[in-house]
A = this chain, B = another copy of it.
Amino acid sequence: MSAPATQPSPASPSSSGTLSYEQAGVRYELIDPLKVAAQRAAAATGTHLATHGFTEVAASRGESAYVVDVGPFHLASIVECLGSKVLVADAMKALTGRSFYAAIAQDTIAMAINDLVTVGATPLVVQAYWAAGGSEWFEDHERAQALVAGWKVACDRCRVAWGGGETPALAGIVEGGRIDLAASCTGIVNPKERLSLGEHLAPGDAIVLLASSGIHANGLSLARKLAERLPRGYLTEVAPGCSYGEALLAPTTLYSPVTEALWAAGVRVHYAANITGHGWRKLLRHPGRFTYRIHTLPPVPPVLEFVAREAGHDAEQAYGTLNMGAGFGLFVPAAQAARTVEVAAACGVPAWVAGGVHDGPKRLLIEPLSLQFDADALTLR
């Protein structure tokens, strides 16, 4: 049960030109009390595992996936939702006639798998949750087949078994003509020393950032609001020959091939952060008290530069909201940082030794931009 971050106070009141995440329709203050209550109730259930002879890995509470020690290895599980990216796919279909459902199928799986691998798990099984706004959704066979095909390809890339799933027709709950896409994923941490909940994170470790493919599946509420303000909407060019809508729909990078290859190559990941909602503030996720210094920035994908500029975001808002080119953060021993970059590149994912872990108060320093996020910029527990 991941709770949202506390949003940083804007330095000045929003002008009509700027657009904050709250203005884009996400009101965390309403959801927070439920999340806190749910987290508390959930935490109290961990002891049930003892009746089956197992134990909760307590450090996984508040992390991206829940981990149970089942004896010979750890079990990790998660459920994740695509969110509102599906609305962009639907809008682009209406505008261009093209189906982007294969792409958003990959996004959905990425939401689950990229979270699951942060704890050191190998994803084994994905279940599909496709809740349509009525039986009629399935009448568009091309769209439905694209969803199936994209889902399959993403499973193939992650070498995960697609176990099955649920495809309810929920007229009256899901809006007519829409579909809610989510995925659950189960994996194992095997051997157990692969667990990367941060026990070994220490000053001197390097931070390696893995490239994102674009906006991934976070920041879409903001991106959609911006489309409403653009004269040509999703058809606005953000790069030569590439529309805003198309750029938004670049599928999320799947990071499990990288984490699997790193283990095989002998790289020992100390901690990992999936950079989704709250942007680079996710690099503050580890509960410990460290200063994270970033000295190298990955290139910013044109679509993210465009979103930040159109929303009137300063660097703090942009890096505190969007992934800005870094989809995943790995905290590894400094001696293995260069190898980490090589292994990621061999998997087709550009990577950079971007910074390091230091003694000091809990904060993230993005030095090339003179940015600082303090401990209270991210409250996930």
Contact = CB atoms under 8 A, between A and B. Distances in A.
Interface of A: 1-2, 25-28, 30-31, 33-35, 37-39, 41-42, 44-46, 48-49, 51-52, 54, 56, 61, 66, 68, 70-73, 75, 77-81, 83-84, 86-87, 122, 124-125, 127-129, 131, 134-136, 138-139, 141, 144-145, 147-149, 151-152, 155-156, 159-175, 178-180, 182, 184, 186, 188
Contacts of A49: 124, 161
A80 B129 CA distance: 8
A48 B178 contact: no
B75 A125 contact: yes
A26 B171 CA distance: 9
Given A30-B139, A125-B77, A173-B86, A165 B38 contact: yes
A51 B173 CA distance: 40
Which 5 A-B residue pairs are closest in the complex by CB-CB distance? A66-B163, A184-B184, A27-B135, A42-B162, A1-B164
B184 A127 contact: yes
B155 A45 contact: yes
A128 B79 contact: yes
A271 to B, nearest CB: 18
Given A30-B139, A78-B127, A166 B178 contact: no
Nearest to A132: B31
Given A41-B152, A127-B66, A186-B186, A31 B167 contact: yes
A252 to B, nearest CB: 16
A129 B52 CA distance: 24
A138 B34 contact: yes
